[in-house]
């Protein structure tokens, strides 16, 4: 029961984050291709950005629900790996809150610089590349360390997952994050491009929940 619940909750958390991404990064016009944050930022309504900002900042800590789900699934491999995924997820979630918030702050810098749509001004670019982007990369590295351990345990047959899940789960993530937007209608592509990482997370945890649905009692 906890395995199913945690998986469903984790999927829900990532879907809420997709909504946050759309509010913070897009005009919510799904009839045209998404042009990217730097092109869209200046025209976004302040109330919409503020809603997306708080929705995301208050939701990101619940990424740890996904860690709970994975820790339950890999518990047969030993407590150390379950604790590793919990620690790496908590640490990376803290870094991702900064990354998410940076888009709201950079929009304010863009408005102050008055550079117009199409690209960042020097101060906005400096803030993004110096403060936000490095923390995002560190967060990905830390989260990747935990997930690599999970995939290793799956391949070793020491978890509740079947071994083929070690191929399927990262494949689902990569396809949704980087490939699917080119294959779907424009309206869906807007969602997939603006919320790529969170769409991929939702898809991966939905797949994990489906795989494990009847395995928790074994």
- Name which of 123, 139, 112, 121 is nearest 38 in CA terms: 121
* Residue 52 within any structural domain of the chain: yes
Between CA 64 and CA 139 the distance in angstroms is: 13
Between CA 51 and CA 150 the distance in angstroms is: 34
At residue 122, the pLDDT reads 86
* Residue 84 within any structural domain of the chain: yes
Burial zone of 33 (CB within 10 Å; 0-12 exposed, 13-18 middle, 19+ buried): exposed
* Residue 17 within any structural domain of the chain: yes
Between CA 169 and CA 167 the distance in angstroms is: 6
* Residue 118 within any structural domain of the chain: yes
Mean pLDDT by 10 residues, the chain (218 residues): 94 98 96 92 94 97 95 91 93 95 93 73 90 95 94 95 97 96 96 97 98 76
At residue 70, the pLDDT reads 95
The model carries a pTM of 0.92
Give the range of the structural domain holding residue 121, as residue numbers without chain letter. Answer: 2-212
Both structure tokens of 183: 């294959």
Domains identified in the chain, total number: 1
* Residue 44 within any structural domain of the chain: yes
* Residue 173 within any structural domain of the chain: yes
* Residue 217 within any structural domain of the chain: no
């Amino acid at each position: 029961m906890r395995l199913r619940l945690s998986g469903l909750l984790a999927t829900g958390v990532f879907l809420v984050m997709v909504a946050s991404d759309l509010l913070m990064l897009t005009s919510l016009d799904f009839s045209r291709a998404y042009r990217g944050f730097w092109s869209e930022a200046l025209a976004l309504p302040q109330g919409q950005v503020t809603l997306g900002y708080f929705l995301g900042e208050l939701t990101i800590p619940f990424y740890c629900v996904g860690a709970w789900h994975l820790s339950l699934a890999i518990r047969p491999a030993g407590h150390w790996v379950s604790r590793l995924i919990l620690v790496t997820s908590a640490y990376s979630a803290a870094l991702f809150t900064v990354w998410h918030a940076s888009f709201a702050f950079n929009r304010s810098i863009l408005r102050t610089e008055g550079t117009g749509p199409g690209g960042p001004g020097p101060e906005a670019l400096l803030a993004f590349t110096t403060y936000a982007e490095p923390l995002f990369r560190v967060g990905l590295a830390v989260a990747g360390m935990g997930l690599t351990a999970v995939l290793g345990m799956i391949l070793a047959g020491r978890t509740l997952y079947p071994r083929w899940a070690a191929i399927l789960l990262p494949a689902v993530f990569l396809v949704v994050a980087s490939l699917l937007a080119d294959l779907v209608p424009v309206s869906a592509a807007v969602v997939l491009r603006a919320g790529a990482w969170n769409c991929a997370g939702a898809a991966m945890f939905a797949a994990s929940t489906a795989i494990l649905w009847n395995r928790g009692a074994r």
